[in-house]
Amino acid sequence: MESAPERKRMESESFTPGPGRERALRTALGAYATGVTVVTCGSEEGPLGFTVNSFTSVSLDPPLVLWCPALLSPRHDAFVAARDFSIHVLEAGQLEISQRFADRADDFSGIDWAESEAGVPHLAGCLTRLDCRHFASHGAGDHTIVIGQVERVTHRPGTPLLFALGAYGRLAGTR
């Protein structure tokens, strides 16, 4: 026989998203595990980084990817205006880098990185780096959809850093 806490865990909740339900919607969406990326670009103020989990592949021909910065982010305008940017898929051991760029856009201290010919910071040790040229951007609610055309890919095998239910993690059975 199931205990009351086990039954409660198995119950689902249905609701209409809207005012007062933002936390519930965020919790529901957070059940979808995502990889963790850091998007970088150069700016008039120097190199910038942005931790992002709203990232996906769009097209193979042409090679397009997208990510979505929040309108209220102080980094929004610099990233939407960037002609060139790189998307770094983080390795499971790069939690500190994810946390750093979630908090501050301009703090590259102690991080191994180099500037590309296009002036874009390239972070070392990532599983994948996608060097992109701005293809299009579209307003979408409280975010902007930024689409980049992938100009160059750098990839190595490894275990990705994941994020779900408000916490970082990794695939089961990986180191």
Average pLDDT value over all residues in the chain: 90
Note whether residue 171 is domain-resident.
no
Share of the chain above pLDDT 70, in %: 93
Note whether residue 101 is domain-resident.
yes
CA dist., res. 42 & res. 111, Å (int): 16
Note whether residue 152 is domain-resident.
yes
The CATH number for 151's domain is 2.30.110.10
State which residues form the domain around 91. 34-159
Digit-coded pLDDT (tens) for 49-102: 999 988 999 999 999 999 999 999 999 999 999 999 999 999 999 999 999 999
Note whether residue 165 is domain-resident.
no
Q: String of b and e for 143-163 (b: at least 16 CB within 10 Å)? A: bbbbbbbbeeeeeeebebbbb
Note whether residue 67 is domain-resident.
yes
What's the total number of domains in the chain? 1
pLDDT at 16: 84
Note whether residue 142 is domain-resident.
yes
Note whether residue 3 is domain-resident.
no
Is the predicted pLDDT of residue 175 greater than 60, yes or no?
no
pTM of the model as a whole: 0.86
Average pLDDT over residues 152-171: 89
Contacts of 121 by beta carbon, 8 Å cutoff, 6+ apart:
40, 41, 42, 47, 48, 49, 86, 108, 113, 114, 115
Q: How many C-beta atoms lie closer than 10 Å to residue 78's C-beta?
A: 19
